[in-house]
Every structure is written in C-alpha cells, then in structure tokens.
Amino acid sequence: MDSLRLGLFFSLFFFITQVVFSMERGLSRNTETGSFGMGKYRALIIGNNDYQDPAGLWRNLQTARQDARSMAKLLEESYGFNDVTLIENATRRDIIFGLTNLAKRVKPDDNVLIYYAGHGYLDEETNRGYWIPVDAIGEDITTYIRNTVIRDELIHISNKTKHTLLISDSCFSGSLLRGNSRGRARPRGISDDLYYKKLASRKSVQIYAAGGLEFVDDNYRNSGHSPFTYFLLSELESHNSGLLTMSELSTNVSKEVANNVQQTPAVGVLYGAGDELGEFIFIRAKGAANVTLSINRTTPVDRFSESPAETSIPSLVEDVWVPLPRF
C-alpha cells in the first residue's frame, strides 16, 4: 500500500513539474525576443487609390493601395503582427468603423499601429487638416475626416493600451503632430536589454508623417510606392535582427526621403494623449525570411513619355523623375 502511495506521489509530482515547465516555456518568448511582456501587435492598414469624387477634385492615386498591401504583408510575415486589418479604398464610414472596432479589441499591453495612405487636405484659412476618404465630394469638407476625429479615436485607443503609433502617408499629414521631434537619447554604457526594457515600460503615442504642412509625392521612380513608404518598407525589410524603435526607424527613413525628394517627414507625439517618452518597438520575428515586396528599385519614369513631340530629347532626361503629389 505504501509503495502504491509512493508511486502515486511521484506520478503526481512528475505531472505538476511538467505543467509548470510548460508554463515557463510559454513565457520564454518574451525573454528571447526582448518583448518584455508586451501584448499582441495589432494593425489597421488603410490604402486609398480609387476615388469616386463626382466633382473630379480628388483624382485617383497610383500607389496608395499597394503601399498598404505591402505594409500589411511585411508586418504579418516579418514582424509577427497577429491582428492585421487591411482596408482598401476606404469610405468615411469604413475608416471610422475600422478605428472604433480596433479600439474594442486592444488590451492594456498591446502595441497598436495605424497606417494611412491616401489624399490629405489642409484648410489654410482654418488651419484644419483632413484625411480624404474615397467617397469625399469635391470641396464639401463634411465628407472628409477631420484631424480632431482622428485624434479622438487615437486617444481612445491609447487610453486602453501601452504603445500606439500612427503612420500617415498623405499630404499635410504633419498637421496631426505636436512638435517636430521626439525620442530618448540613448544613455552611454547601458545594455541593449535594459535600454529597450525602459522604453517598452513607458507609454508611447507616436505619429510619423510623410511630410509636415506640405504636399507629398505619390509614385517614386516608378517603384509602385510613394517615396515615404518606399524607404519605410526598405528599412523594415532590411532590418534582419533584434529590436527596432520607432525613433531609430524614422531617423534613417527621414534622411533617405529628404535626400531624394522635396519633402521632409515629421515625427512627434499626439498632444494630450499621455505619452511618457516610451517607444513603439518593432520586433523582427525569429526565422522570418525577407518578404518579397513589389518594389522596383531601378526603373525611372520617362518624363516625356506622354509627349510625342519631345521624344528627340537626349537620353539623359530619362533619369529625371517627376513627382506626382498626394493632394
């Protein structure tokens, strides 16, 4: 009888230790990846190409939809985003519903990224900025989405979670910003683990805009992407290991954009949303292969392709790229 009890004891002990060990293994992902107990990575991706404006003011764009598709693909396959919603050619209702529905799903430790590619507008008289949905009508601003609406939705999301990042690739997207720079200077002598852990522990509500209060371009050198998203995707694609903060990412992307086109991306925080100088941190998924994106890196646009009378211009001008703005 005693031997039977002893056998049952060891069997129970072995079962409990296996359960505990399994639970510990479930937590090991955070230690190995440096995610420090972060929750899910969620994204709402919006790309508007095909505008329905009966007044003809808002013309179709060439690359916004492909920008959005490539961004969604890269985040899912290379950065472990496990809740990605892609909305193509979004109406005003689609965008607002997408934001409110995202807010219902977020949890306190989540990391939430919102990406918008499409037309933008700034009313110079009132200094009010807008996103332009595909069902916007001419100069009727009631059919646009005002920045205050976007801010309210972002604040609602950021109040429910730790890290929130808005990336806006549209004209005048910098009107959403408070300040032109942000980020913590990295202290000397601090280890990578401690540095990223501190940034992850502090709340962040960041905005990265394709330009300040200016027009931004649509198709960069026939790449199939805007200049801003072209370099953004390239930086994320080429980052093969470890962690990458939003400030680190934006530093490289902003330089590349400013060196190649006449626009300067702006990075900052959402005013009044409780930002504590934390950082949105991108974590490259282990074993993730480079995602093949539809980026044509070599073919320039021939600026004279639509003008038969000028086809005799020397071939040197074939390397001249003429930007098409997203306004």
Res 264: pLDDT = 84
Our CA angle for 265, 235, 82, nearest 5°, is 100
125-143 CB burial, b ≥16 within 10 A, e <16: eeebbbbbbbbbeeeebeb
Give the strand pairing for 204-209 and 266-269. antiparallel
Res 207: pLDDT = 93
Q: Is 260 exposed, middle or buried (0-12, 13-18, 19+ CB in 10 A)?
A: middle
pTM: 0.75
Name the E strands within the chain.
Answer: 41-47, 83-88, 111-117, 120-123, 128-131, 145-146, 163-169, 204-209, 243-245, 266-269, 281-283
SS3 breakdown of the chain: % helix, strand, coil, rounded to 5? 40, 15, 45
End-to-end distance of the chain based on CA atoms, in angstroms? 85
pLDDT per residue rounded down to tens, the chain (327 residues): 554 444 444 444 433 333 333 332 222 233 344 445 678 999 999 999 999 999 999 999 989 999 999 999 999 999 999 999 999 999 999 999 999 999 999 999 999 999 999 999 988 898 889 999 999 999 999 999 999 999 999 999 999 999 999 999 987 554 555 544 444 445 454 556 776 787 787 889 999 988 754 444 456 677 678 989 999 999 999 998 789 999 999 999 999 998 888 888 888 888 777 787 899 999 998 755 555 444 443 332 222 222 223 222 222 222 333 334 444
Res 74: pLDDT = 97
Res 288: pLDDT = 59
Which residue reads 């916004």 in tokens? 64
Angle 227-238/64-78 helices, nearest 10 degrees?
10
Res 262: pLDDT = 81
- What is the phi/psi pair of residue 10, to 5°? -65, -35
Q: Centre a 10 Å sphere on the Cβ of residue 306 and count the other Cβ atoms it contains.
A: 7
Res 140: pLDDT = 97
Res 304: pLDDT = 24
Residue 39 Cα to chain centre, angstroms:
17
**Which H helix or E strand runs over 69?**
helix 64-78
Res 69: pLDDT = 97
Res 183: pLDDT = 44
Res 37: pLDDT = 60
Could you tell me how many helices (H) and strands (E) the chain has, helices first?
A: 7, 11
Parse the chain into domains and list their residue ranges: 36-319
Protein fold of 36-319: Rossmann fold (3.40.50)
Res 220: pLDDT = 60
**Which H helix or E strand runs over 112?**
strand 111-117
Q: Which of 260, 259, 279, 261 is nearest to 269 (CA)?
A: 279
Residue 237 Cα to chain centre, angstroms:
13
d(CA 24, CA 219): 49
Res 272: pLDDT = 74
